Structures are given as structure tokens and as C-alpha cells.
A and B are shown apart, each in its own frame.
Chain A
């Protein structure tokens, strides 16, 4: 199915968030996730099911003031 990851379309075969992150190459990354504007905790990722058109934000530490 097609989902939007960090504003870009991606095709994923995984149906849950945890597997999708692995598929997208974020398995070993220090990232936090939000699905359709709502924070999804690391512990909930395996339970959260994805649907076509979902918007996923994958954020990481960045320089800031």
C-alpha cells in the first residue's frame, strides 16, 4: 500500500507501524513517530495498523536553539 512518509510517498508491504519502519530502513535509528498527527510510542508501534494514505512522520534529533 502507499503511505506518506515524511511528506514523500512510499510503497510498503508491512501492515503495522513497527514492520513498516524496518522496511523503510529506520530499524536501528533513534527516531520518534507520529501517525496522522498523533504521537505513537515505541511500545505501541507493533499494534498500530497502517492504512493506505496514512501520513507518517519519523523524527530524529537535530541541531536546535
Chain B
């Protein structure tokens, strides 16, 4: 798939938070086969822990997708994005403007506003959004070439709460790269997203909080690949009633 002109092979994007240790994170990144990892920006401490983390990240060889996680206004998100662009030397930004502290639901009004400002400044925006079609249209008008609808609230692991809405989005924006971001809990959730025709999946907690993060990273990679192959192979239509798969013609009569 191509995102903002960059060809990527793996359709799994991985977050870097909540792992038991940096070594486990590195192992999970490796076994996931991901080419894109998400990172954040926080206040640097006196011991330079952020700088040390950055050196570890660079060893993965992955592309960095910085986020604006935790920003609650368009202005905060725009300032954070500008800082991220300088720090990570990338025009990519995973734009989050949080509207509700319990659900971490995107503030889609602030999101569109920030997306417009950042696109105008040459950023390549990956907006974390809801599955609302109108918001999707506004984000595209604002300059986004990628949409990242949620599957379920961040970190909830609930899977796809509204697959019908995602299916409608897929149908409504046929040429737009769509990445399901947030809510994936299990490999079957990731496969389902891909079977719906989503272009990729971004997840973090499902891998980081698994008993075996590297094992789960591998499972997610396989699920994403299987789901994508299934979508490409054009699944059969569902039927309400049974239809025999073994031919009835030529059946013996025993009575």
C-alpha cells in the first residue's frame, strides 16, 4: 500500500507504549514485521530518558509516526505536531484531538481544524477519527489522504463495535487509505477489519498487554495478512438458509 507516496509492505502499524521493557518492545516490533511505529512526545526529564528511548527507536529501522496523544484542543495538537516534526524529522503526524476523557473519543471539530492548519503547513496527516462519513469528508477536504477511524475506544480491546459503519466508510471512500486505529483486542478483530477492506490496522495495547507480546505481535501480523487476502479473494455472500455443498444429484435411494 502507498501512504502519502510511501510504499509500505506490512499492513500492521504498532504502538510503542505499555510494554514490560524496551527489550520486549523491540522483540514485538521485530516479530510483527511492522514498518511503522507510533511514538509520542512528553516532558524530558533530567536523566534524559526520552533521548535514550529515541536512540532505541532508531535501531528498529521503522518509520516513525509521531502522535499528538493527550491533546485536548486543536491548538495544542498543532503545537505538538510542529515539535514532533522537528524532533523526528518527518512530515507524518498521527493527529489526535481528544474530546472526552472517559471514552477518549476524538473531538472531530478540533480534529478537522487542526488537520487543515497542519496540511497547509506541509504535514501529512493521519487523523484519528470516528466512523462518521461527514467528518471523513471534511478531513479529506482539509487535505488528509488517509483516514484512521476507531474500531472501539482506545485501549478497550473491544474489537469493531460498529462494523457496519466501517463498511459504509469503505464504500464511501473507495480510493482513500483507511487504517483502523484503536479498539483491536484480538487477532480476529484485526482480521475482521481487513476483511472489511480496510487498508491497515494500527494497534498497541493488544500486543503490549498480551502475556507474550512478541507472540501476539506475530499473531496480529498473520491475522492482518489473512484478512487482507480474504478481502482480495472476494468472499461469498451470506445466505439465510442451508445450501448443500455436496451435490444432491446421483444420490442413492435405499427405501
Q: List 26 A-B contacts (CB under 8 A).
A: A6-B43, A7-B43, A28-B48, A29-B51, A30-B50, A31-B44, A32-B41, A32-B87, A33-B83, A34-B79, A39-B82, A41-B86, A59-B41, A59-B42, A59-B44, A59-B83, A60-B54, A61-B50, A61-B57, A62-B39, A62-B42, A63-B16, A63-B39, A64-B66, A65-B67, A65-B69
A21 to B51, CA, bound (A): 15
The size of the chain A interface, using a CB distance under 8 A, is 25
Contact flags A21-61 to B (C-beta < 8 A → 1, else 0): 00001101111111001110110000000000000011111
Interface residues on B, range: 35 or more
Within the assembled complex, what's the spacing in Å between the Cα atoms of A34 and B80? 9
A58 touches B17 (CB 8 A): no
Residue of B nearest to A32 (CB): B83
What is the bound-complex CA distance between A24 and B136, given in angstroms? Answer: 44
Q: What's the nearest-Cβ distance from chain A to residue B50, in Å?
A: 2
**B227 part of interface (Cβ distance < 8 Å):** no
A27 to chain B, nearest CB (A): 11
A13 to chain B, nearest CB (A): 18
Contact in complex: B86, A63 (CB < 8 Å): no
The 8 Å CB contact of B17, one of A42, A60, A65, is: A65
Partner of B50, one of A28, A34, A62: A62
Please measure, in the bound complex, the distance between the C-alpha atom of A47 and the C-alpha atom of B185, giving whole angstroms. 49
Q: A59-B42, A62-B40 are in contact. List 12 more A-B contacts (CB 8 A).
A: A28-B51, A29-B50, A29-B51, A32-B82, A39-B79, A59-B87, A61-B54, A61-B88, A63-B40, A64-B40, A65-B17, A65-B40
Who on chain A is nearest to B204 by CB? A65
Q: What does the 1/0 interface line of B41-79 toward A look like (CB < 8 Å)?
A: 111101011110110010000000011010000010001
Given contacts A30-B50, A32-B41, A38-B79, are A64 and B15 in contact (CB under 8 A)?
Answer: yes
- B44, A58: Cβ atoms closer than 8 Å: yes
B87 touches A61 (CB 8 A): yes
Q: Which residues of B contact A7 (CB under 8 A)?
A: 43
Docked-complex contact B205 and A29, CB < 8 angstroms = no
List residues 145-184 of chain B with CB under 8 A from any CB of chain A: 154-155
Contacts A61-B57, A63-B16; is A31 near B87 (CB within 8 Å)?
yes
Our pick among B42, B57, B79, B205 for the contact of A65 (Cβ within 8 Å) is B205
User: Which residue, of A30, A57, A58, has the highest number of chain B Cβ atoms within 10 A?
Assistant: A30
Closest A residue to B65 using CB positions? A64
B19 (CB) vs chain A CBs: closest residue:
A63
